[in-house]
Amino acid sequence: MKTGLIVAMSTEYEALRRAGVEDVVKSGVGKADAARAATEMILTDRPDCIVNSGCAGGIAPGLKMFDIVVGTQYAYHDVWCGDGFLPGQLQDQPQRFDADPGLLRTALSLRTERPLRSGLICSGDQFLTTPEDDARVLGIYPDALACDMESAAIAQVCRHYGVPFLSFRLISDVHTSHEDTENAYQDFWKQIADDSFTFLRQLIEQL
């Protein structure tokens, strides 16, 4: 199976390369760049599936830094199209985009030394920095586990083209105060080990 890999940031890209992953594209941060990268990959490389990896902020109780969250669904937390639409729903689109069942089963079957959870990942063009930010997202999606800036956009593109998709995230921060969040996020990149993305390598080997 030909797997297309997308990450957003140079730090993520470099960490994956250190972990031995070579076939990976750096999209840039945010929904627009993520959608562009996914579209170009699908039209140019014709992958059998796309996997998106990177970091995310944990917003569910009990999540800790370096925990792995495998997305079962993906949704926008910063979209509102007015009356007649659900929060996060775009016209002619579902409120939530589902992960590919086969990719999801494979991901959840892997053994990892890091805690693994699965559930909803929310996306938006906003870096959440306070507990109040988390509470706003949880007010829309009470079952949300983590927030990033790309997963839902790639999921939407993959749904359009009929390409199986899965995103999973390494938790880079959990929120107690603004200062704590900023410090934790910076420490994440200082402490990340070369084997932090072993999960992705294991997933690729099973596909």
Task: Indicate the pairing of strand 144-148 with strand 49-58.
Answer: antiparallel
Domains in the chain (CATH in brackets) are: 3-206 (3.40.50.1580)
Catalytic status, residue 205: no
Q: What pLDDT is attached to residue 191?
A: 57
Q: What pLDDT is attached to residue 177?
A: 44
Of 174, 171, 74, 95, nearest to 134 by C-alpha is 174
Catalytic status, residue 173: yes
Q: What pLDDT is attached to residue 198?
A: 76
Q: What pLDDT is attached to residue 193?
A: 46
The catalytic position among 78, 100, 148, 173 is 173
Q: Are 169 and 53 in contact (CB under 8 A)?
A: yes
> Residue 117, SS3?
strand
Q: What's the rounded Cα separation, in Å, for the pair 32 and 27?
A: 9
Q: What's the rounded Cα separation, in Å, for the pair 7 and 52?
A: 6
Which of the 8 DSSP states describes residue 100? Answer: P
The catalytic position among 12, 67, 133, 134 is 12
Q: What's the rounded Cα separation, in Å, for the pair 21 and 198?
A: 9
Q: What pLDDT is attached to residue 37?
A: 95
Digitized pLDDT (tens) for each residue of the chain, 207 residues in all:
889 899 888 877 887 777 677 788 888 899 999 999 999 999 999 999 999 988 888 999 888 888 899 999 999 999 999 999 999 999 999 999 999 999 999 999 998 878 899 999 999 998 887 888 888 999 999 999 999 999 999 999 999 999 999 999 988 877 654 445 555 555 665 555 444 567 877 888 887
32 to 28, 36, 88, 125: CA distances (angstroms): 9, 6, 16, 9
